[in-house]
Amino acid sequence: MIDMGTILVVYDSKTGHTKSMATAVAEGVETVEGMQVAVKRVEETSLADLQAVDGIIFGSPTYYGEMSAKLKGLIDRTADIHGKLEGKVGAAFTSSGGVACGAETALLSIIQTMFIHGMIVQGRSKTA
């Protein structure tokens, strides 16, 4: 098996829905030969953890169009390692209680941070 890299799935979950999504995302990563994945709750994640992997996937519940305060706190602390996440692959997912809850804006705020850090975020694939 070829070691292609390690992905860290970092999530916050109050009701368990985002945790279930994080587990499903990790299972998807595991289907790619050579990929390793770790899943951590946001409060268990350090800045060193973010620097130690090849890719980061953030997951958050949606609160009034924003990510959770816990995830925002971790993201705010990444200012201390600005430039150290450049070139890493990034992705994000959110959960929400229904339509028109602001999931899109929550997702965009997470992805915006990834762009500021110089991370690589894949848009829509031609094959999708």
Which of these CATH numbers, 3.40.50.360, 1.20.1090.10, 3.30.420.40, 1.10.1240.10, describes 58-123? 3.40.50.360
Q: What is the end-to-end Cα distance of the chain in Å, rounded?
A: 27
pTM of the model: 0.93
Does residue 47 contact residue 14 with C-beta atoms inside 8 Å?
no
What is the pLDDT, as a whole number, of residue 117?
97
Q: What's the chain's Rg over C-alpha atoms? A: 14
Please give the structure tokens belonging to residue 70. Answer: 């816990």
Where along the chain do its domains lie?
58-123
Task: Output the pLDDT for position 124.
Answer: 81
Query: SS3 of 97, please?
Result: coil
Which pLDDT belongs to residue 31?
Answer: 95
Output the tens digit of pLDDT for each of the chain's 128 residues.
556 899 999 999 999 999 999 999 999 999 999 999 999 999 999 999 999 999 999 999 999 999 999 999 999 999 999 999 999 999 999 999 878 788 999 999 999 999 999 999 998 877 75
